[in-house]
Chains A and B, each alone.
Chain A
Amino acid sequence: MATTDSTKQTLAQMGVDSPTKVASLFDDLRSAFDRDVAHEISSLDLEAARVKWLGRKAGILAEIGDNWLKPAAKEIKPAVGQSLNALKAHVEGQFTALAAAKDTAREQSAAARDQIDLSLPGVERAIGTRHLIRQTYEELERIFLSIGFRVVEGPEIETPYYNFEALNIPEHHPARDNMDTFYIEGSKAGHLLRTHTSPMQIRTMEKEKPPVRIIVPGKVYRRDNPDSTHGYMFHQIEGLAVDTDITFCDFKGTVEYFVREFLGPKAKTRLRPSYFPFTEPSAEVDATCHVCGGSGCRVCKFSGWIELFGAGMVNPAVYGCVNYDPEKLSGFAFGMGVDRLAMMKYGVGELPVLTQNDVRFLRQFP
């Protein structure tokens, strides 16, 4: 039986003189390699084994080339060459496979050693937040921009004319009962803190010819003693669309579109007749109660509906103040309480939270 020592001798010295003997010799060598390497893998000295077998000068395969192949007799030389190539391919293949296996094993043990506790937090960078009111405004703006509204802004300190008279609310109108007003001291024009964003309806129509299609976000003020639903200030978004062909049906379609976009495709809309001095016909816009889904609960006083905002067709009396022809033009207007919409949608229980600016609240809406 051939051992690895045999590679130091020539074939002739070993009496190998036929292809059959060559084959048998190489088979023995291959078995020796397999045994050798199987042994080595457990002791992990792969590099030593590689040198022993594939070393350029003293490696076994190099010795075969020098001692067996070169001096081989002509008759067996091709057989020796083929067998040597086959053995070489086998040995190299095995070493590649073993090296890969060893790397994997090493990675696995390293991974086991370095396994991080993923329940620990990483290094979190402080990132700020936009206020919930701001986020709601952005949402509302996006909805109305998508149907051709333009955003405009106006002053918070207004004149009584724009806040009341031009909106068909003369001085002794009972509708002023719901709009207790803060007045500015020492202003010649009797300036006040606007009680709604509606003055921008007038300011816009004074400046622009129809078609007009605007929304007006902004702060408004009421002289109400603060409680869980009232504050000195809240946020509104006003809408106005005036043209030669705007009808109640357009008003209804716009409002329904808004409700679906804001509250989701399942939300239903109901228009309930109401009264505002600057719209006629007027309506309260109700939506399916977000708490019970319409079946009735305490929040909706068992009606299945929640009041969202007031709206209506522009009262022709308003056109008189802005030189619009009430016989040719028509339009609709609405005024939404943004705080109320945000509170409803995000379940904020009380109004003061929105302006206390407690970071524990601010962080809740990243």
Chain B
Amino acid sequence: MKIVYNWLKEFVDATAPPAELRSRLSLAGVAVDSVEESAAGPVLDAEITANRPDCLGHYGMAREVAAIYRLPVKALQPKLKEAAIKASDATRVEIEAPELCGRYTARIMRGVKIQPSPDWLRQRLEAIGQNSINNVVDVTNYVMFELGQPMHAFDLDKLSERRIVVRRARAGEKIRTLDGVERALTKDMCVIADASRALAIAGVMGGSESEIGFASRNVLLESAWFDPITVRRTSKALGLRTEASYRFERGADPEMAELATRRAAELIQQLGGGEILSGVVDVYPGRAPAPSIELSRKELLRVMGADVPDRDIEEILAALGFHPSRTDAHRGTPGSLLAVWQCTQPSWRRDASRGIDLIEEVARHYGYDKFPPRLPPAKQPAHRLPHAEAQDRLRERVVALGYQEIVAIPLVDARRDEIFRAEGVAPAVIGNPLAEDASVMRSTGIVSMLGALEWNLNHGQRNLRLFEIGKTYELRDGEPVETAVLTLGATGLAREKTIHEAEREFTFADLKGDLDGIGKLAGRFGWQSGGPAWLAGGLASRISAGNSGALGVAGQLARRVADQLKLRQEIFVAELRLEPLLAGIEAARATEKFTLIPRFPAVERDFSLVLTDGVKFAQVADTIRALAIPELRSVEPADLFRGGKMPVGKFSLMIRVTFQSGETTLTDARIAECSSQIVAALESKLGATLRAS
């Protein structure tokens, strides 16, 4: 809402320059963004919150300024030269839908000369961003910005039977609005009609058929109060937001309606002559007594924590139109803790109906800065999220492994999401998306991860290791389910070339090593072959952890899928469910205990085995462990060799076995004994042979 400084000063004798007014208004709750110069003088650009439709006019703003400076607001008393003929003899108003229209006032003017507006009026309208049309239309606009009351002017001669009917629109009824668009109406909408047809959409926009043009002579001025919800619904349904609908949907002042027609008639007469028929046609089915509101000092203290003097309370509430009066038994005692004020709600402040509303009015005008700050004592221990420590350890580990954390918008492209969506998962689809590439809540973090990799590859970054701790979304029986996940993505070089080292590509072994590094926090991960179709077959893996069961998948993106997404590099990804992973981390932490560091030296023995294809390292290790040799410390793969001199169907695996005793230095004899036990077991269980070296 733009406020013309000089216009404002017509209603309150404030002397503060615009810049000061800007900051005082801001501190009283009317944020003023800027002050600019215009042909009509300085203009303040104010942001009016949704609860204050009364401030959507200069007069209402003057009330705020008056309360700030504790000045009186000047009463508006339009002076009309009325003709002898009564308005009520020239038109008739009927409200058929009183639930939609609480008041309708009409004033009639005859013989008005429709012409361009004078400079002062055009300048003021232009200063607030309105185009000048003609004197009558401009005046109705001017009055709206002056009093906050939207108005409409009809060409009286175009009204069938020269009468007004306020009713619901009929099924199938249509109207061409002032913007030239034909609009289909529904019976939830309120229209202003004449004897035969709808002339205007109540509170939203007039129709072109009864529009004031330069040929018009006789004018019916409408000033009414329409139901906010109906206006809002209508305006939304038609996609038609106007200055009028903006005010009505926030709640206009029903008492202002009549004054506005008087003010408009006065101005039109000044600018376009003509005669004003006497009186106003006023149908007011929604008249209601002004509610009374109580403010007690006890409540003010309870909410605000510090007091406000009687005088300030009374001056502020009086300036804002609440007519405060002390009604408690102690009213002779200023500052009494038992003080109670009875107030009356002004017709323009439907937003203020409770004691708390008055407390806010008093506090904001007294000044938020006058209340002393204080830190409330904590009565309960502070707590982080459950599993926060486990998540810290996880994030710390992933970061240490060289992964950079990403944060992605979970709204993704439905077609992309589908590629990775597990069978049977119903996605959370957006019913009213703004774009195709943000039309579904992701079913997996892989979609976002590939998006981030793609962005970087397209921006010249080819060596990437990224992770995200986020959520996936789906519907189960129509109910949303959100699942926290850890997603990893890597591509390019594991190590870049430097003056010290050669470069090395990131491989599946890197991903596996990184995941096992994470797995160490949660006991250890188990790996099984197989996985979703979007992973390359040979490298697709499922990961599990101890008691937590299936955790997720890891592998290389299938070439077919990578091609589809135009990703040329080899892409490695993994996704693990966060909750069981964190539970695993916590469980592992709970059982971690110190084991004595052995004092006696460890002995390593290498065994070069020739094995049949298909035998896994884990089988070798398990076979050795099954011997339950107390001195066995570890079994590690040391070398792997296929082809060459190896017979077809065989491969060579060198393993390194470490022995160590907690009690004694191992003798060669004991080592030899253990070694032959191992060789024998591997020969009999796995058909292994020792390779002559």
Closest CB-CB distance, A342 to chain B, in whole Å?
11
Q: Mark B212-238, 1 if CB is under 8 A from A, else 0.
A: 000000000000000011001100000
Say whether B455 contacts A358, CB under 8 Å.
Answer: yes
Say whether B461 contacts A358, CB under 8 Å.
Answer: yes
B480: which of A141, A152, A187, A303 is its contact (CB, 8 Å)?
Answer: A187
Please name all residues of chain B whose beta carbon is closer than 8 Å to the beta carbon of A223 when the two chains form the complex.
432, 434
**Measured between alpha carbons, how far is A174 from B245 in the docked complex, in Å?**
11
B374: which of A134, A249, A303, A360 is its contact (CB, 8 Å)?
Answer: A249
Say whether B376 contacts A243, CB under 8 Å.
Answer: yes
Please name all residues of chain B whose beta carbon is closer than 8 Å to the beta carbon of A153 when the two chains form the complex.
385
Q: Mark A230-273, 1 if CB is under 8 A from B, else 0.
A: 01110100000101011111101111110000000000001111
Q: A187 with B409: in contact, given A172-B232, A174-B250, A280-B356 (CB under 8 Å)?
A: no
> Please, how many residues of chain A have a CB less than 8 angstroms from a CB on the other chain?
92
**Measured between alpha carbons, how far is A244 from B363 in the docked complex, in Å?**
20
- Find residues 570-603 in chain B having any chain A CB closer than 8 Å to their own CB: none
List 15 A-B residue pairs with CB atoms under 8 Å apart, sorted by A's residue number.
A121-B498, A128-B399, A128-B403, A151-B385, A232-B411, A232-B434, A232-B438, A249-B371, A249-B373, A249-B374, A253-B375, A254-B375, A270-B27, A273-B360, A359-B456
Q: Mark B176-197, 1 if CB is under 8 A from A, else 0.
A: 0000000000000000000000
Mark A residues whose CB is within 8 Å of B: 120-123, 125-131, 133-134, 141, 144-153, 155-157, 172-175, 177, 182-189, 191, 193, 211, 213, 219, 221, 223, 225, 231-233, 235, 241, 243, 245-250, 252-257, 270-275, 280-284, 301, 303, 313, 315-316, 330, 354-360, 362-363
Say whether B369 contacts A271, CB under 8 Å.
Answer: yes
Say whether A131 contacts B406, CB under 8 Å.
Answer: yes
Say whether A148 contacts B379, CB under 8 Å.
Answer: yes
Say whether A127 contacts B381, CB under 8 Å.
Answer: no
B410: which of A146, A152, A219, A301 is its contact (CB, 8 Å)?
Answer: A219
Where chain A touches its partner, the secondary structure class is: mixed
Residue of A nearest to B452 (CB): A357
- Which 4 A-B pairs give the minimum distances between C-beta atoms? A247-B305, A148-B378, A273-B29, A275-B49
- Find residues 1-40 in chain B having any chain A CB closer than 8 Å to their own CB: 23, 26-29, 31, 33-34
Q: A128 with B405: in contact, given A271-B368, A280-B357, A356-B455 (CB under 8 Å)?
A: yes
Please name all residues of chain A whose beta carbon is closer than 8 Å to the beta carbon of B405 when the two chains form the complex.
128-131, 134, 362
Please name all residues of chain B whose beta carbon is closer than 8 Å to the beta carbon of A274 when the two chains form the complex.
29, 31, 49
Say whether B459 contacts A358, CB under 8 Å.
Answer: yes
**Measured between alpha carbons, how far is A235 from B303 in the docked complex, in Å?**
30
**Measured between alpha carbons, how far is A211 from B388 in the docked complex, in Å?**
23
Please name all residues of chain B whose beta carbon is closer than 8 Å to the beta carbon of A129 when the two chains form the complex.
399, 404-405
**Measured between alpha carbons, how far is A14 from B438 in the docked complex, in Å?**
113
Residue of A nearest to B498 (CB): A123
Please name all residues of chain A whose beta carbon is closer than 8 Å to the beta carbon of B434 when the two chains form the complex.
223, 225, 232
Residue of A nearest to B395 (CB): A130
Say whether B478 contacts A186, CB under 8 Å.
Answer: yes
Closest CB-CB distance, A242 to chain B, in whole Å?
11
**Measured between alpha carbons, how far is A256 from B371 in the docked complex, in Å?**
12
Closest CB-CB distance, A51 to chain B, in whole Å?
41
Say whether B249 contacts A174, CB under 8 Å.
Answer: yes
**Measured between alpha carbons, how far is A330 from B359 in the docked complex, in Å?**
13
**Measured between alpha carbons, how far is A173 from B404 in the docked complex, in Å?**
43
Q: Report if B482 contacts A (CB, 8 A).
A: yes
Please name all residues of chain B whose beta carbon is closer than 8 Å to the beta carbon of A271 when the two chains form the complex.
368-369
Say whether B368 contacts A283, CB under 8 Å.
Answer: yes
Q: Report if B500 contacts A (CB, 8 A).
A: yes
Please name all residues of chain B whose beta carbon is closer than 8 Å to the beta carbon of A151 when the two chains form the complex.
383-385, 388
Q: Mark B452-464, 1 if CB is under 8 A from A, else 0.
A: 1001100101001
Q: Report if B656 contacts A (CB, 8 A).
A: no
**Measured between alpha carbons, how far is A233 from B229 in the docked complex, in Å?**
29
B482: which of A155, A235, A354 is its contact (CB, 8 Å)?
Answer: A155
Closest CB-CB distance, A226 to chain B, in whole Å?
8
Say whether A126 contacts B465, CB under 8 Å.
Answer: yes
Say whether B404 contacts A362, CB under 8 Å.
Answer: yes
A281: which of B50, B360, B473 is its contact (CB, 8 Å)?
Answer: B360
Please name all residues of chain B whose beta carbon is closer than 8 Å to the beta carbon of A360 when the two chains form the complex.
459, 461
A184: which of B379, B398, B430 is its contact (CB, 8 Å)?
Answer: B430
Closest CB-CB distance, B18 to chain A, in whole Å?
13
Closest CB-CB distance, B34 to chain A, in whole Å?
6
- Find residues 635-653 in chain B having any chain A CB closer than 8 Å to their own CB: none
B404: which of A128, A221, A241, A245 is its contact (CB, 8 Å)?
Answer: A128
Closest CB-CB distance, A156 to chain B, in whole Å?
6
Greatest chain B CB density within 10 A among A122, A146, A189, A356 is at A356
Q: Report if B400 contacts A (CB, 8 A).
A: yes
Starting from the known contacts A250-B376, A358-B455, 16 additional A-B residue pairs (CB-CB under 8 Å) come to: A123-B501, A134-B405, A151-B384, A157-B473, A187-B475, A193-B441, A232-B438, A248-B305, A253-B373, A254-B376, A271-B369, A281-B363, A354-B407, A357-B456, A359-B461, A359-B464
